Amino acid sequence: MAYANVQSSGKLETSSGAGLSWTPGVAPTLNNLLTFRGHGWRSGGFVPGATDVKDSSGTPKNFARDVSATVGTAEGVTINSLLVPSGLTTPLKNTSTATILVGIFDEWSGNVTSTPLDTSNTKNTSTIPTGGSSTYTGATINTSADAGLVLACFSDDDAVTETAGTLTSTGSSFTQNCVEVNGSSFSYGSEVSRTATLAGQTGLGNTWSVQNTSALTLPAVDCIASYNALPSGPPPSYDPGVFGLDARRMI
């Protein structure tokens, strides 16, 4: 069974430290996969918290922080997930007080019903050269035979000095779901996904076409995670030898 996107918040962003929230148009389905992907910046340093992403109940149901990374002293990226539990309440929230936060919530069907995370990786050593366009190659992963969804986030911003520039996902079969190019007001970055041809892949990752129009060589950071899908194929066949032919006649 393949992963399918059920509903999405689209791009959410704040530049006032107010966090992000999303009320789905339809109540999420029990055991579907909820995900949050985001990137942010704070002058004192932004480190995505382990319990930043949650539902709105008095005793919150927290998303797992599947992977996150930071670069320099200011910016970070994160991917969080939660299997929809009984009693989930909305809105869904990222309550981080990072000065600037950009992200997207999604609901996915087709995931395994326990421990959906397959593998993850991060990269935070590259820099984007000043004054033009370049290609950034993100972190890569080796997926399992059951992988059916890959999510990735990228950011390379100095929110004080960076100006607008193009930012395009160029990785094969990846879809850019959320992008912010106005680095002077928000955080320059992108969130992508892929559901095609994922099982048993080696060195799978995304690339981005980046334009750095500031006067600085900017630090870059990204993270990537894959998730296991339900097995495909027909349900198990009936075996009359288990219950006997009389039992089959009674069904």
Per-residue pLDDT of 105-117, as tens digits, reads 999 999 999 999 9
| Helical residues (DSSP H) of the chain, grouped into ranges | 240-243, 245-250
Q: Where are the domains of the chain?
A: 4-250
Q: Is the dihedral of CA 36, 9, 201, 227 positive or negative?
A: positive
Q: What is the pTM of this model?
A: 0.91
The Cα 208–Cα 154 span in angstroms is 8
Torsion of CA 195, 139, 77, 40, to 10 degrees: -110
**Look-up of token digits 């690339």:** 207
What pLDDT does 247 receive?
42
Which residue, among 117, 128, 45, has the nearest Cα to 81 in the 3D structure? 117
The Cα 226–Cα 198 span in angstroms is 9
**Amino acid type, 110:** G
Best-predicted range by mean pLDDT (21-25, 152-156, 233-237):
21-25
Reported as a single tens digit per residue, the pLDDT across 185-232 is 888 899 999 999 999 999 999 999 998 877 778 889 999 999 999 987
Q: Which three-class secondary structure state does DSSP give residue 87?
A: coil
**Look-up of token digits 């990072």:** 98
